[in-house]
Amino acid sequence: MKKLAFCLFTITFLFPKLSASQNNGAEAVLGGLLAIGAGVAAVEQMKEQAELTATQWVLTNKPELSSFSLKTLDFDGKKVKDMSSTSVISFKIQAFTAGDKPELDGKKQVLFGFTSRGWISEYGIDFEKVKWYLIDDTEWMNMMVAYVKVASSESNESDIISILKEGKVVNKGVKVKSKLVIPFFKLEGDMYVVTDYSSEMKLLYNERSLGIFLKETKDLVQIGRGDIIKIHDFFFEEE
């Protein structure tokens, strides 16, 4: 917002005597800048609203967490229209020992907010349309193992775990450094491979995303490849 204010000041200060046609152009530029600023502010407001609600969920459902950090994983760089089509919002949570200038050195968890149609409106986020699901590194690894098994011909779980701890899930499979160690099946955009992961969800492999079918709500949501990498790095990058 500071950058926006600076741009507005610069335009106003440097070009005070524009002709009528130039004024119209300047007004269009200013209008565009204001619209951009409003969009940035709207996403920031949604981010704060989501973090507050996620924090309230943790305080209500995880009273044993007496000192923790909670931050969104997937709002940065997104626009309002991007957020309206988002089907999962995620938050990284890490415990710490309270004290002066504490370090984040405790247990890591990720809180998913699975969204339903119409979760964002002109009034903001409707959290009645968000279903919460908390996981730790063990559960995430279990999900990734199930996902790799359904997305590839690899079936040895211990091998998959070892590779996942060293590598990352990318569009074409699991890479360790620059080498594609586990290639994924090549599918068309309308093809899905499904595994019955738990009593709560099924996991689907599609060419570019991890699909999660929530049995209770019958919603099919997707976690994009970039967010999969962020979550995986959060859990395992320092190991």
pLDDT tens for each residue of 189-231: 788 899 999 999 999 998 767 889 999 988 888 888 888 989 9
**Cα–Cα distance for residue pair 66/48, rounded to 1 Å:** 21
Using N-to-C axis directions, what is the helix angle for 20-61 and 2-14, rounded to 10°?
A: 170
pLDDT band at 85 (very low <50, low <70, confident <90, very high): low
Owning domain of residue 124: 37-236
Is position 64 within any domain?
Answer: yes
Per-residue pLDDT tens digits for 25-54 = 444 443 443 344 445 676 678 788 889 999
Residue 19 lies in a domain: no
* 28 found inside a domain: no
Structural domains of the chain, count: 1
Question: Which pLDDT value is given to residue 12?
Answer: 45
Strands, DSSP E only, in 10-101?
68-72, 88-95
More confident of the two residues 19 and 175: 175
20 within a domain of the structure (yes/no): no
In a domain, 27, yes or no: no
In a domain, 63, yes or no: yes
Tokens of 157: 């779980």
Backbone dihedral angles phi then psi of residue 144, each to the nearest 5 degrees: -70, -35
* 163-167 own/partner pairs: CB under 8 Å, 24+ apart: 164/232, 164/236, 165/236, 165/239
**Phi, psi (rounded to 5 degrees) for 156:** -80, 110
Q: Does 16 map to a domain? A: no
This prediction's pTM: 0.77
Do the domain assignments include residue 133?
Answer: yes
